[in-house]
Amino acid sequence: MRKAFTLALLTILITSGVRAQAPVVTGVGLSSVPLWPQNGDTSQPPKGQYVFYDPHSAEYVVYYAPEVAGGSSAQPTVLRFGTHSLVDPEVVFAVAPTGDGRFHYTYKVENGTHARQPIGRISILDYSDSSPQGAGAKWTAHVEPHKERDLGTPAVSASAIEWQSNSAAPSIAPGSAMQILTIDSTSLPGFVSMALRGDSKSNEYTPDAVASLPQEVRDQLARLLNTTSDARSSMVIGPRFPRDASPSAIAQNYSFGMQRLIRRGKLDANSPFVQKARALFNEQLQAGDQTLLNAGSLDFTKQAKPGMEAAIGDALETIFAQ
């Protein structure tokens, strides 16, 4: 079966012209599991591998054949579950103080024309506010505690904000946009990852659907079909820091976020704004306890180009205007 998986991959790449960057698991790389053989040969599956990916149907395939007496295999269990990562998101973000000690975050979400699925669920973490308020343009917003903690402030409770489309506001179809998702939070702005999940017409995975299978099979599938892995992510400005966050923590976050955006082609590494911002962040990280990142050191934000650069500059000015 291992040979069959290799041949299946070669066949797909040669006959369909699909690049090696098939949008599976993360949406930006090769599948992290073997491909399901298109020739139907399941006679010799790789040892210990129970989950495969079928790029034609955009489904994960669970294949489990328990051994019986005599070393033979019993009738296999074959289950299929749809992926939710075949979206092509573009997010425009902004933040502004509300005047009552909170910050108003807004997001315009677009789904590219090359997406294979509409966007139906969007989530983001707030690391420093236990009760942020989420809203959407007729989308349903849910806020609940989240176990993930910021390493710098592990005692602070995190919240998960999730928006889901409903009958009043359909999913974001390929080639369309939605106006607008919002968060009101006491957290200062920083870079966070927004997860965007597509609507699948295939069977939905639930732990109950595989409850009868061995633990190792369930664990292998659960690692793939969760809100982090089975989604596309977008680096955005969101509710990130407590009021007493150190300049070094802020510099590290913004340096990392801007580097990610440069790698994704969202920021120009040679732009004066980007170069001066990254130089200041590096100086702050080298200075340690000495504060270099403050309201007086943000003159470079005047050089920000409209769009992504201006949004980042506004977020920095919002932090240090407090």
**Model pLDDT for residues 15-43, shown as the tens digit of each residue:** 333 322 233 333 334 567 889 988 878 77
How far apart, in whole angstroms, are the C-alpha atoms of residue 21 and residue 179?
30
pLDDT at position 263 over 60: yes
Q: Determine whether 36 is exposed, middle or buried from the number of CB atoms within 10 Å of its CB (0-12, 13-18, 19+).
A: buried
Least confident span in 53-57, 69-73, 223-227: 69-73
pTM, full prediction: 0.81
Q: Which of 88, 75, 25 is nearest to 52 (CA)?
A: 25
Angle, helix 308-320 to helix 272-287, in steps of 10 degrees: 40
Give mean pLDDT, residues 291-318.
94
The strand ranges marked E within the chain are 51-54, 59-64, 77-82, 89-97, 103-111, 119-126, 133-135, 140-146, 158-164, 176-185, 188-198, 232-241
Q: Where are the domains of the chain?
A: 2-82, 87-199+238-244, 246-322
How far apart, in whole angstroms, are the C-alpha atoms of residue 116 and residue 80?
18
Query: Which CATH number is 87-199+238-244 given?
Result: 2.60.40.2230
DSSP string, 145-169: EES---TTSTTSPEEEEEEE-BTTB
Q: What is the pLDDT of residues 183-220, one digit of tens each?
A: 999 999 999 999 999 999 899 999 999 999 999 999 99
Q: Which of 41-55, 63-77, 301-315 has the highest mean pLDDT?
A: 301-315
Residue 290, pLDDT score:
87
Amino acid 44 reads Q
Residue 137, pLDDT score:
80
pLDDT, the chain, mean: 84
How far apart, in whole angstroms, are the C-alpha atoms of residue 277 and residue 299?
10
Signed CA dihedral, 273, 274, 279, 280: sign only? positive
Q: Determine whether 213 is exposed, middle or buried from the number of CB atoms within 10 Å of its CB (0-12, 13-18, 19+).
A: middle
Give mean pLDDT, residues 131-144.
91
